[in-house]
């Protein structure tokens, strides 16, 4: 519009990917060995520019003639970034009589977003399997049990997704005004941390796979224990007197434990019709193992709380007609929630305060499930999918939800 703004920008990405692998396979009698080595290189390039002006006498140029604007402080800027990720990896698969299985891998990953002294991370993994359906003692069940395997594994993976945070960065702005004249100024925009390194996930798992009736029915169960250490965060707080008050850092450790159960059935299969059913069940809980050394917990928090924990006052039912209100809720009316005063000797016995908040759970559901049916008739497909979460606490707390409309009264001060 006349007197309005016009802006134009262009952002270009150019990425390269190189993968090289070599595989060796050897079979000697009942022994089978496969080895793979490889190298991968990725480069990510980004560059762009932007410009803008305002106070145009006509909108006929749109953004195609920014110089026609009469703005006293037009904007112009450009940017560029480059990063690279290189990986060396190897894997060995070994089996004996197709019953005893071993897989071992090792990765070495290097990310240019880290300082050279912290750039490389090394991540091993190994798994063992026993296909006991091939053992002699399973022969009487061979017509029913077509596959039975017990497996266990250990592995580490790395995460470097934090961006270029090792350098101090500065921004240029033309908005600094002294007197009646504008000046270009430079200000710090990021405080670098050369100690940044890989976030590491370590997992242990054990599982059981079963197949029945020529694998028309397949059941898989797995338990896992997952620990994430040196978590990469971008918002570690610094004292407020600093020009930059946050910095990227490796902080803390978490632990997650879960159980997964999946069931797959092939109900009908012939030339024209295929009908399969899948059912899944998952449960997962995680909690803190280590926190930022500078973390200052509230009186009701502890180091090992669930990650998405919910703390609130505990309900003691509804106030009944004729019932005396608790001393710590003197203005409570019949039908409103009574709250338990659970504070210890450090709290005040007749006042609801932070000492009375308790852990009631986390935002993680008790378990999730999925149910999927796929029917194919010739070239026609029909898919029906159901997903659910059970016993999940939503929002800040049940207490807050109940009292949201009563802000300012003694229930919800």
CB 69 within 8 A of CB 6: yes
Question: What beta strand segments (E) does 29-54 contain?
Answer: 31-54
Closest by alpha carbon to 158, among 196, 205, 116, 102?
196
Residue 398 is predicted with a pLDDT of 46
Residue 409 is predicted with a pLDDT of 41
pLDDT (average), residues 236-265? 92
Closest by alpha carbon to 224, among 181, 184, 258?
258
pLDDT (average), residues 75-79? 88
Q: Indicate the pLDDT class of residue 344, thresholds 50, 70 and 90.
A: low
Pair of tokens at residue 141: 């069940």
Query: Is 218 a residue whose pLDDT tops 90?
Result: yes
Query: Is 256 a residue whose pLDDT tops 80?
Result: yes
Residue 352 is predicted with a pLDDT of 84
Q: Indicate the pLDDT class of residue 177, thresholds 50, 70 and 90.
A: confident
pLDDT (average), residues 376-400? 81
Residue 82 is predicted with a pLDDT of 93
pLDDT (average), residues 116-139? 96
**Rounded to 5°, angle at Cα 363 from 359 and 368:** 130
Higher pLDDT, 62 or 270: 270
In the chain, count H helices and then E strands.
1, 20
Query: Is 268 a residue whose pLDDT tops 70?
Result: yes
Higher pLDDT, 235 or 86: 86
Q: Rounded to an integer, what distance in angstroms lies between the CA atom of residue 282 and that of residue 260? A: 5
Query: Is 369 a residue whose pLDDT tops 90?
Result: yes
CB 340 within 8 A of CB 356: yes
Residue 175 is predicted with a pLDDT of 64
User: Which of 44-58, 172-186, 213-227 tops mean pLDDT?
Assistant: 213-227
Q: Indicate the pLDDT class of residue 380, thresholds 50, 70 and 90.
A: very high
Residue 360 is predicted with a pLDDT of 86
Q: Mark 45-78 as b/e (b = at least 16 C-beta within 10 Å).
A: eeeeeebbbbebeeeeeeeeebeebeeeebbeee
Question: What beta strand segments (E) does 230-294 contain?
Answer: 232-237, 246-250, 253-269, 273-290
pLDDT (average), residues 66-78? 86
Mean pLDDT score across all residues of the chain: 89
pLDDT (average), residues 3-24? 94
Q: What is the pLDDT of residues 302-327, one digit of tens each?
A: 999 999 888 888 888 999 999 999 98
Residue 405 is predicted with a pLDDT of 43
Q: Indicate the pLDDT class of residue 410, thresholds 50, 70 and 90.
A: very low
pLDDT (average), residues 80-86? 94
Residue 408 is predicted with a pLDDT of 40
Residue 413 is predicted with a pLDDT of 38
Q: Mark 364-395 as b/e (b = at least 16 C-beta within 10 Å).
A: bbebbbeeeeebbeeeeeeeeeeeeeeeebee
Q: What percent of the chain has pLDDT over 70?
A: 92
Contacts of 117 (CB under 8 A, 6+ apart): 194
Instruction: Report the run of H or E that residue 83 belongs to, with start and end.
Output: strand 75-96
Structural domains in the chain, sorted by start: 4-159+193-305+368-404 (2.40.170.20)
Q: What is the pLDDT of residues 333-342, one digit of tens each?
A: 999 999 988 8
Pair of tokens at residue 313: 């006052």
Higher pLDDT, 187 or 343: 187
**Rounded to 5°, angle at Cα 386 from 380 and 387:** 140
pLDDT (average), residues 106-116? 96
Query: Is 19 a residue whose pLDDT tops 90?
Result: yes
């Amino acid at each position: 519009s006349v007197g309005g703004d016009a802006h134009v920008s262009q952002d270009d990405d150019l990425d390269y990917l190189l993968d090289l692998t070599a595989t060796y396979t050897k079979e000697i009698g009942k022994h089978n060995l496969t080895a793979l080595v490889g190298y991968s290189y990725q480069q990510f390039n980004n560059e762009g520019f932007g410009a803008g002006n305002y106070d145009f006498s006509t909108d006929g140029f749109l953004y195609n003639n920014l110089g026609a604007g009469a703005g006293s402080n037009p904007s112009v800027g450009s940017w560029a970034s480059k990063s690279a990720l290189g990986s060396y990896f190897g894997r060995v698969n070994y089996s004996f009589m197709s019953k005893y299985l071993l897989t071992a891998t090792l990765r070495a990953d290097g990310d240019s977003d880290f300082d050279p002294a912290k750039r490389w991370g090394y991540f091993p993994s190994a798994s063992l399997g026993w296909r006991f359906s091939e053992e002699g003692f399973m022969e009487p069940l061979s017509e029913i049990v077509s596959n039975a395997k017990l497996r266990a594994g250990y592995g580490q993976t790395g995460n470097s997704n934090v961006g270029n945070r090792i350098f101090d960065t500065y921004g240029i702005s033309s908005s600094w005004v002294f007197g009646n004249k504008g000046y270009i100024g430079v200000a710090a925009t990021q405080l670098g941390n050369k100690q940044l390194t890989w976030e590491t996930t370590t997992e242990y798992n054990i599982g059981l796979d079963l197949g029945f009736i020529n694998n028309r029915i397949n059941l898989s169960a797995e338990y896992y224990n997952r620990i994430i250490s040196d978590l990469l965060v971008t918002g570690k707080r610094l004292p407020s007197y600093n020009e930059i008050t946050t910095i990227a850092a490796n902080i803390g450790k978490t632990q997650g434990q879960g159980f997964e159960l999946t069931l797959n059935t092939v109900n009908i299969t012939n030339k024209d019709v295929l009908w399969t059913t899948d059912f899944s069940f998952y449960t997962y809980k995680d909690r803190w193992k280590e926190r930022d050394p500078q973390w200052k917990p509230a009186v009701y928090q502890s180091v090992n709380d669930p990650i998405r924990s919910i703390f609130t006052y505990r309900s003691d039912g509804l106030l009944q007609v004729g019932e005396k209100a608790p001393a710590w809720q003197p203005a409570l009316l019949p039908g409103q929630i009574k709250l338990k005063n659970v504070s210890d000797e450090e709290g005040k016995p007749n006042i609801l305060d932070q000492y009375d908040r308790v852990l009631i759970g986390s935002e993680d559901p008790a378990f999730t499930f999925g149910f999927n049916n796929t029917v194919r008739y010739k070239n026609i497909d029909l898919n029906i999918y159901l997903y659910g979460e059970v016993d999940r606490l939503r929002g800040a707390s049940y207490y807050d939800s109940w009292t949201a409309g009563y802000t300012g009264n003694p229930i919800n001060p």
